[in-house]
Amino acid sequence: MKTIEHFIFIFNILLAVNVFITSACPREMQDVKAAYKSGEILDQSLPITLATIKRKLKESGIFNWQDPTLNEREKKELSKLFDVIAIMTTSRARQPSNVQNMFSSLRLVERVVKKQLKQGQISESLAAKFHWEKLPTRHRREKPTYYLDKKTSMRVFNTMN
């Protein structure tokens, strides 16, 4: 008789905990998401700005935006280019910080420069001053050491390496 009472007691506790968890979590998650969107919870890292992109371009040796050899036309084109990049980084600043990293920001600059060159918005002389070969290449991820068995939904590890 005592084991049945213990079983019922444990069952009631588990049921109460389950009801508490399922009823509290979704609202808490919505509250946290709403607080983050409203600005009550600030993102811990600083967003990527045009100044940091300019600094990284200069430090990496890809492009020196303060180059004294730039002529007036190239400076004007560069100003428009940085305006476009500023707009793009502002829209990216709304994303969480783990989405924004400097590597993808430099890639963003590369895409903008190539697109504007293709559209004739910047000159080839300005585009040639960007040294994209100094941008680190992307590393491909190694193949995983396991695969997912569809029948059992379990990981099967490759131990032959």
Please indicate, yes or no, if residue 139 is contained in any of the structural domains: no
Q: How many domains does the chain have?
A: 2
Write out the residue range of the structural domain in which residue 121 sits: 50-134
Whether residues 92 and 118 share a domain: the answer is: yes
Tens digits of residue pLDDT in 92-147: 655 555 555 555 678 888 888 999 999 999 899 999 999 888 877 766 667 667 77
Strand (E) or helix (H) holding 2: helix 2-38
* 3-state percent helix, strand, coil for the chain, nearest multiple of 5: 60, 5, 35
pTM for the full model? 0.53
Flag whether 148 is in a domain: no
* Nearest CA among 121, 123, 110 for reference residue 57: 110
Question: What pLDDT does 134 receive?
Answer: 84
158 lies in a domain? Answer: no
23 and 97 both lie in a single domain: no
* pLDDT level of residue 36 (50, 70, 90 thresholds): low
